[in-house]
Chains A and B, each alone.
Chain A
Amino acid sequence: MAKFAKLSFKKDELNKELAGFFKGMLENGAVDAVLAPMAQAQKGVRQTLVTSAANTEQVDPFAPVAAVSGAKIASSLTARSSGRKVAMVLRPCEIRALVELVKLKQANLDDVLLIGMDCLGRYENTDFTKFVEQGGTSESFLENAQAGKTATGDFDVAGACAICEFPTADNVDMRLCAIGTGNGAVFIEAVTQKGEEALDKSGIKAGESPSGRNDAVKKLVATRTDARDKKFAEFREQTNSIQALSDTLSECVNCYNCRVACPVCYCKECVFVTDTYRHTGDQFMMWADKGGMLRMPTDTTMYHLTRITHMSLFCVGCGQCTSACPNDIDLMPLFRTSAEKTQARFDYQAGRSVEEAQPMSVFKADEMVEVTGQVK
């Protein structure tokens, strides 16, 4: 049975209350470090690794920004672990990506106290700067977003967030609950034994549970699922042939930022930067001869199709690909529409469970007979 602790806060004091929670955990030895979004001294909110209780003041976990996927940061901290216990505050999409990285042995949760925050979306990096300049805070965001008002001036939350059906996190030790908790309060939920121990040590008393949360989450999921299905249908129509796909990708400059930003693009060395794709002049000429002309640089469609083949089974729909594109190509629906089909084929869902084997890592002798249609 999950334990909840209510964290009431006065106006402009949400982060102060949350800081108290992290401070308590560090001071009482529940963890040795905290990785959480924090306001930086000069500008911006970034994931920050804190080892001293005195430095928890700037935490801002609900800030609507995620400049770099936290899953990649968690991977860099744990793939070769320090052995020190870290509490990590991550978004649901980051946690689902992290689950995939754990299965790929590129992250390890042994020394991690995983804390999932309720997510109402994030702004693009530069939009978040504008949001702050306009006087926006995490508190105002939580309040407005729950009333469905995420649009501010000329920007809104990332397209990925608007169609994300996972506003809450699973596979965590604790949750920071903000959906349906009413203004002026958030809840800390201890999900696992490890989480309960940490909550006790933080010095915050367990008590009532948030009564309106389940309904509010359900409602939000329904709205976003509808938006997702609409977006998918639209995008599939727009990319139903290789020609249409190439047109959608026409602004691509082969910078490969989308795969750098992608938390689940798992290859240590991408094949597209190896000699495999360093073609000779003869090769280009031969291709050009085929149709009399050749778009340069080459391998753009090939690159995206290969990426889909590699990572669509693990795609969690975080939208970092779209955010990373310098030419504003909306890549997220490309990977998400493909992911929906490939994951369904293997009855797999990225980030659902650490125990569930990744489809390309297992096989059976007597399965998927429909592929060949042959029976001996």
Chain B
Amino acid sequence: MSEFEPKIVAFFCNWCTFTAADLAGTSRLSYPSNLKIIRVMCSGMVDPKYVTKAFLAGADGVLVGGCWPGDCHYINGNMKARRRVALLTEVLKQYGIDEERFWLRWIAASEGNMLKEVAEEMTAKLKELGPSPLKKMGQMVV
């Protein structure tokens, strides 16, 4: 049997983390293809529903990437995102979606290296945790 490859839905902010992913690419850094990147304008626009939906649809992990506090293109969207992530983590945790499956990370546009590191770290962590517990449910929970 081939090794379990986790599916990570990654919401990256247009200005920092997505640009970092671009930089990683143009710098010819390779990072795990487990990340399925969705570009959003700001981490602050990641509605908790998007994350809940991703998990219910069977994602093994969700990664939200935003600018460092103080660097947000919209001044403070990332700080709002941080509170929302904390809130949603508390909710998901109770229903068996471990907080280690749901990450928020600050990755600046210049930090292509860090993007690679975070992608590798999260993929490794999820391989250790194994597939999402929802996989056992047979059908999609939407």
Contact = CB atoms under 8 A, between A and B. Distances in A.
Interface residues of A, number: 46
Given A241-B96, A242-B137, A295-B139, A372 B82 contact: yes
Report which residue of A291, A292, A309 has the largest number of chain B beta carbons within 10 angstroms of its beta carbon.
A309
Interface string B79-107: 11011111111110111110000011110
Interface in A227-259: 236, 239-246
B38 interface: no
B1 interface: no
B56 interface: yes
Given A239-B94, A299-B142, A376 B68 contact: yes
B23 interface: no
Interface stretch (B4-12, B46-54, B123-131): B46-54
A337 interface: yes
Contacts of A242: 55-56, 95-97, 133-134, 137, 141
A239 B86 contact: no
Given A295-B139, A301-B141, A341-B90, A240 B96 contact: yes
A313 B86 CA distance: 12
A302 B88 contact: no
A284 to B, nearest CB: 9
Nearest to B79: A363
Contacts of A56: none
B52 A359 contact: no
B25 interface: no
Contacts of A372: 82, 103-106
Contact of B140 (A239, A271, A290): A290
A240 B95 contact: yes
A241 B95 contact: yes
Given A365-B69, A372-B106, A298 B142 contact: yes
Interface residues of B, number: 41
- The A interface, classified by DSSP as helix, strand, loop or mixed, is helix
A240 B94 contact: yes
A245 B103 CA distance: 23
B136 interface: yes
Contacts of A338: 90-91, 94
A241 B135 CA distance: 12
- The B interface, classified by DSSP as helix, strand, loop or mixed, is helix
B102 to A, nearest CB: 10
A295 B140 CA distance: 8
A211 interface: no
B87 A313 contact: yes
A175 B53 CA distance: 45
A306 interface: yes
Nearest to A337: B94
Contacts of B103: 372
A301 B49 CA distance: 12
B52 A341 contact: no
A134 interface: no
Contacts of A301: 56, 141-142
Contact of B69 (A236, A239, A341, A366): A366
Given A309-B52, A364-B79, A366-B69, A345 B87 contact: yes
A243 B86 contact: no
A359 B53 contact: no
A41 interface: no
Given A241-B133, A243-B136, A371-B82, A305 B91 contact: yes
B10 to A, nearest CB: 15
A278 B82 CA distance: 30
A246 B141 contact: yes
A25 interface: no
A242 B68 CA distance: 33
Contacts of A374: 105-106
B87 A360 contact: yes
Contacts of B95: 239-242, 244-245, 305
A366 B69 CA distance: 8
Nearest 5 A/B pairs, CB to CB = A291-B139, A241-B96, A363-B79, A298-B142, A341-B90
Interface of B: 48-49, 52-53, 55-56, 58, 68-70, 76, 79-80, 82-91, 93-97, 103-106, 133-134, 136-142
5 contacts: A294-B142, A302-B56, A302-B142, A338-B91, A341-B93
